[in-house]
Amino acid sequence: MMRSLWITLMTLALAASPAYAQTEDEGTEEAPAEGDAPAEETPAEGDEAPADGDEAPADGDEAPAEEAPAEEAPTTEEAPAEEAPAAEEAAAEEAAPAAEEAAAAVEEAAAEDAPAAEEEAAEDDPVVSLVGEAGAVWLAGNTASITANGRVAFGVTRAKNKFALQVGGAYGRSKIEDVWTDTATRIFGDVRYDRFLTDRNSLYVLGGASHDPFAGLLAKIGANFGYSHLLVSTDQHTLTAEGGINYTHDEYTGDPIPDPSSQNFVGARLFASYALDLNGTFGISQSVETLLGGTDNEAARFDGSLAAITGLSANITKILGVKIGFALTYDFVPPEGFKPIDTTTSLTLQATLL
């Protein structure tokens, strides 16, 4: 009996041990089939029967219940999947300040480039000017005369290029011994092109022609090339100086026609101009030009001229204004029979059309 009890206790201990339970969970060992419990030895004759309460394990007793498996830890494949949204959110938060800084830098660069772009666009837009002047004097009574004068100036400036054109003239008639006679005829015109090297420096080409028979000139044709420099440029004051080379061809007229009847002049051209603008309502301008050089005239190897023009202007409106002008021309060697000085005084109505 003791041997049977011992075998029973060993079986129960083995069944309850952790190693035995793990072996059952992994399935590495098969659990004993029902009815395969260890057989009990038949007690020999004379052995005592088991005491009351000492029950032997009955056939078919079930093995101890299996323990519930513990929760498995997330696998390495599931962990990144759960952490991915958090990582993306963290990356987005880290990238946000950099994106904001980049956007701010782009806006700042655009703001800095905007004035330059606007200035460049403004330079590409042409600036056009058109000014017209007209005046007349009519005398009647003891003296009968009429004189008219006018001038039109047109200009276009675009980027580093400037084109200017002006034409004008004066015409007068007087009644002498009841006969109307021409007493003044002058027509002039010139065209000029400037190529700006900088805002204050430019190269210019200037060509012009005039007709003034009462000054002994049938035709005066000139061509100039030189350099212009803007010395002063403010809202009120403008001062310009120019220097270059001049060529002039003169055709004389008269009764009789002088001999020689023409001459060619090559020399230097010096020019200076000043303008004062008071709030766009009142202005003063003064220019002086001199030509100095030699000629092919045997009677006057050295020749030249001096021209000074003064103007006073007052604006009545943004378009209309009044201008008083005075021009003086001095010819160092005038044609034979003519005076060296000519002056012109004018009062004109000025219109700034563009």
Residue 64: per-residue pLDDT: 46
Beta-bridged to residue 185, according to DSSP, are 171
| Dihedral angle of Cα 48, 50, 52, 58, to the nearest 10 degrees | -160
pLDDT at residue 182, as a whole number: 92
Whole-number pLDDT of residue 161: 97
Q: What is the pLDDT of residue 256?
A: 84
The crossing angle, in degrees rounded to 10, of helices 2-16 and 18-26 is: 60
**pLDDT for res 242:** 98
* Single-letter residue type at 28: T
Tokens 């001199």 found at: 290
Distance in angstroms (rounded) separating the CA atoms of residues 267 and 11: 139
pLDDT of residue 124: 73
Please name the residue that has the structure tokens 């700034």: 352
Determine contact, residues 302/265, Cβ cutoff 8 Å. no
Give me the amino acid identity at 286.
Q
Buried/exposed code over 8-27 (b: 16+ C-beta within 10 A; e: otherwise) = beeeeeeeeeeeebeebeee
**Predicted local confidence at residue 312, as pLDDT:** 96
- Judge whether 202 and 192 are in contact, CB under 8 Å: no
d(CA 44, CA 230): 143
Taking the complete model, does pTM exceed 0.85, yes or no?
Answer: no
Average pLDDT, the chain: 80
Amino acid at 93: E
In Å, how far are 8, 25, 39, 40 from 33, measured between CA atoms? 17, 16, 13, 17
The reported pLDDT for the residue numbered 181 is 92
pLDDT score at 272: 98
pLDDT of residue 311: 95
Q: How large is the greatest C-alpha to C-alpha distance in the chain, in angstroms?
A: 193
Residues of the chain where predicted confidence (pLDDT) is lower than 70: 1-85, 92, 113-123
pLDDT digits (tens, 9 = 90+) for 16-54: 555 544 545 544 444 444 444 444 444 444 444 444 444
DSSP output for 239-263 = EEEEEEEEEEEEEE--SSPPSS-EE
Domains of the chain (ranges; CATH) run 1-69 (no CATH), 128-352 (2.40.160.40)
Q: Which residues lie across from 134 on neighbouring strands? A: 150, 349
